[in-house]
Amino acid sequence: MSLQSTPKRALTLPPDVVGTIFQFLKPAGVLDAAPTAKAWAEAGESKLVWDGLVAQTVDTAVRDTLAVGDAPQNDAKADAAVRNALERCDQKSNKWAAKNPALASAKAKAWYKIGVALPPITAAVVAEVLPYRCVISLDRRVYDCTKFVFEGSPYHHPGGSSNIRREHGRDVGRFFDIFAHTMTAHRLMRKDMLAWDGPLHAGAPSLPACVLTRARRRRRHVTEATSNTSWIGHVVFGVGFAMLCRVASRWTSAIDLS
Q: What SS3 state is found at 107?
A: helix
Q: State residue 216's pLDDT score.
A: 47
Strands 194-197 and 135-138: unpaired
| pTM higher than 0.75 | no
AA letter at 108? A
CB 167 within 8 A of CB 136: yes
Please tell me which of 34-48, 219-233, 244-258 the model is most confident about, judged by mean pLDDT: 34-48
Q: Helix, strand, or coil here: 137?
A: strand
pLDDT digits (tens, 9 = 90+) for 72-86: 888 899 999 999 999
